[in-house]
Amino acid sequence: MGKGAETRDLILRRARDLASIEGLEQLTIGLLARTVGMSKSGLFAHFKSKEQLQLSVLQAATERFVREVIAPALREPRGEPRVQALFERWLGWEASFPGGCPYQTAIIEFDDRPGIVRDYLVETQRDWQDALTTAARIALEEGHFRKDLDPETFAFQFTCLALGYYQHKHLFRDGSSKARTRDAFEQLLESARA
């Protein structure tokens, strides 16, 4: 990796962490320049606009999500073990950021604002839903889940657990949110099993 790529990678790591705390909308070239010790013009040379910076942060987060959540889970045996790995890896992913998952804040900030950032969020969240649906479908094919299970509904319920977890952990400061989410996920699995 060349010096320019290393610098960009460092900038994106810091930006991703800041976005997890402050949100993407609060992430500005000026704030990030101060955080990484660069001039605004030096940082601007890497991103050209605030929107491009926001998009780059989300793209970097997606690469990390695939590397840390999806790829390791896909190495697990097909079926329920893979579904469980997706859940556990996802739970660990959220905890690896100082302010929580950068997607969650971005989704709230951009859910009704047209543009490339929202389009990218929609694309990545659909990909995640597709991955969860496929994992549930494979668990059904492997005989781990009941034959009448709707994989799309299972993926929807998985996502609902995630949203509930974020609300209880971050908004309510509920120290039991992780344990409750694990219990709820076990109940979801139990209802899905063959």
Could you tell me which of 138, 136, 142 has the C-alpha nearest to residue 188?
136
Give 1-24 pLDDT, tens digit per residue.
677 778 888 899 999 999 999 899
**3 C-beta neighbours (distance < 10 Å), count:** 7
Q: Where are the domains of the chain?
A: 51-192
Q: Assign domain 51-192 to a CATH class.
A: mainly alpha
Q: Please state, in angstroms and rounded to a whole number, the distance separating the CA atoms of residues 28 and 49.
A: 9
Beta strands in the chain (DSSP E): none
Question: Alpha helices, DSSP H only, in 37-113?
Answer: 40-47, 50-65, 71-74, 80-95, 102-110
Strand-pair partners of 193: 145
- Per-residue pLDDT in tens (0 to 9) along the chain, 194 residues: 677 778 888 899 999 999 999 899 988 888 888 888 888 888 878 888 889 999 999 999 999 999 999 999 999 999 999 999 999 999 999 888 898 889 988 999 999 999 999 999 999 999 999 999 999 999 999 999 999 999 999 999 999 999 999 999 989 999 999 999 999 999 999 999 99
Which pLDDT score, from 0 to 100, does residue 2 have? Answer: 74
pTM: 0.92
